[in-house]
Amino acid sequence: MNALEQISSKSLKENVPEINVGDTVKVAVRIPEADGKYRLQNFEGTVIAKKHGGISETFTVRRVAHGVGIERVFPVHSPAVDKVEIIRRGVVRRAKLYYLRDRVGKAAKVKGLVR
């Protein structure tokens, strides 16, 4: 078990922001191109779930584009995830926001954090 812990501690990314359910985030994902280079593609949406922990931690981001809901699951410590920028903090009372899938328009919004 010690070997697994050592590998996972080496693979963990530094400076990962504190992502919470309900936050609106912009995730920059590395997309490989044909000539060996890569480009960054942004995916902005609301975090509706966090799962697992440690090296296998993931978070699910949902957005609506052209009337169609799109969800992507991102591993927090993946090398394909270049950076995660928190646009807005949200206040929620649930650990999973799967009920947003059935909501349309303003009903699908998450209340913001008032400071």
* Other residues' Cβ atoms within 10 Å of the Cβ of residue 98: 12
Find out whether 46 and 64 touch, Cβ atoms under 8 Å. no
For residue 115, is it within any domain? no
pLDDT in tens, 9-29: 777 777 889 999 999 999 999
For residue 111, is it within any domain? no
pLDDT in tens, 87-113: 999 999 999 999 999 999 899 999 988
Domain containing residue 90: 2-104
Instruction: Copy the structure tokens of residue 37.
Output: 């280079």
Asked if residue 54 has pLDDT above 70, the reply is: yes
* Model pTM score: 0.89
Domain count, the chain: 1
For residue 84, is it within any domain? yes
- Stretch 1-16: mean pLDDT: 75
Asked if residue 70 has pLDDT above 70, the reply is: yes
**How far apart, in whole angstroms, are the C-alpha atoms of residue 103 and residue 27?**
23
For residue 114, is it within any domain? no
Asked if residue 8 has pLDDT above 80, the reply is: no
For residue 38, is it within any domain? yes
Find out whether 31 and 40 touch, Cβ atoms under 8 Å. yes
Residues belonging to the chain = 115
Q: What percent of the chain has pLDDT over 70?
A: 97
Residue 44 pLDDT grade (very low, low, confident, very high; cuts 50, 70, 90): very high
Q: What CATH number does the domain containing 84 carry?
A: 2.30.30.790
Helices (H) and strands (E) in the chain, counts: 1, 5
**How far apart, in whole angstroms, are the C-alpha atoms of residue 90 and residue 45?**
12
pLDDT of 5 reads: 75
For residue 50, is it within any domain? yes
For residue 56, is it within any domain? yes
Asked if residue 1 has pLDDT above 70, the reply is: no
For residue 48, is it within any domain? yes
